[in-house]
């Protein structure tokens, strides 16, 4: 289990689509240097996110998981995507003040990483992953990150524990 590092990585990589949106804004404004920096940040965060899932699938011990109830937990994606696309919808000039953005992102990421909350990661959503809240027979609720759609809660799946309450469906590795 990776715990806080994994939660922080999932939270911080959730801003990758924001960087890609601002990359588009910077290109439209003709600011190629900022555009390339934003594109680089997007690519680095995307790589970190994908590497984390690859690492978990190949290096973290797996176990069988069976839920007694499952519900979709990634319904927040529309709100996030609208927020991320908002700069493209405004006719006003958008500027990035890194002296405000970097500390805000750091505080937000740290707050989520040290709490039991989780943060939907739209980057994973764009890559076909889904988030589910699943309760066990013991009454513990986990978030499952999976590429599957759960139609039968009686099925047992192989998972790796990413954090205390977040597991990744290994789906046959």
Tokens 């709490």 found at: 115
Cα separation of 131 and 123, whole Å?
Answer: 12
CA distances from 19 to 10, 42, 43 (A): 15, 6, 9
Nearest to 116 by CA among 164, 70, 73, 75: 164
When pLDDT is cut at 50, 70 and 90, the band that residue 119 belongs to is low
Contacts of 35 (CB under 8 A, 6+ apart): 23, 26, 27
Whether residue 38 is predicted with pLDDT greater than 50 in this model: the reply is yes
CA distance from start to end of the chain: 17
Please give the model's pTM, rounded to 2 decimal places.
Answer: 0.75
Cα separation of 95 and 13, whole Å?
Answer: 21
Over the stretch 69-115, which tens digit does the pLDDT of each residue have? Answer: 888 877 665 665 666 666 555 545 456 666 766 776 677 666 666 66
Over the stretch 130-156, which tens digit does the pLDDT of each residue have? Answer: 888 889 889 898 988 998 887 667 778
* Angle (nearest 5°) at CA 11 between 9 and 15: 105
Helices assigned H by DSSP within 60-141: 77-89, 98-113, 122-126
């Amino acid at each position: 289990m990776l715990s806080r590092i994994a939660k922080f990585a999932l939270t911080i990589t959730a801003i990758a689509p924001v960087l890609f949106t601002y990359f588009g804004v910077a290109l439209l404004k003709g600011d190629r240097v900022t555009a390339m920096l934003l594109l680089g940040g997007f690519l680095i965060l995307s790589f970190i996110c994908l590497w984390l899932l690859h690492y978990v699938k190949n290096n973290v011990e797996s176990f069988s998981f069976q839920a007694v109830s499952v519900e979709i937990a990634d319904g927040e994606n529309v709100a996030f995507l609208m927020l991320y696309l908002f700069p493209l919808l405004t006719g006003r000039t958008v500027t990035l003040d890194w002296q405000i953005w970097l500390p805000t992102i750091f505080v937000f990421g740290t707050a989520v990483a040290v709490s039991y909350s989780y943060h939907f990661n739209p980057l994973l959503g764009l890559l076909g992953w889904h988030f589910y809240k699943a309760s066990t027979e013991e009454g513990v609720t986990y978030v499952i990150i999976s590429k599957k759609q759960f139609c039968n809660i009686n099925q047992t799946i192989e998972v790796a524990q990413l954090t205390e309450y977040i597991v990744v469906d290994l789906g046959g590795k």
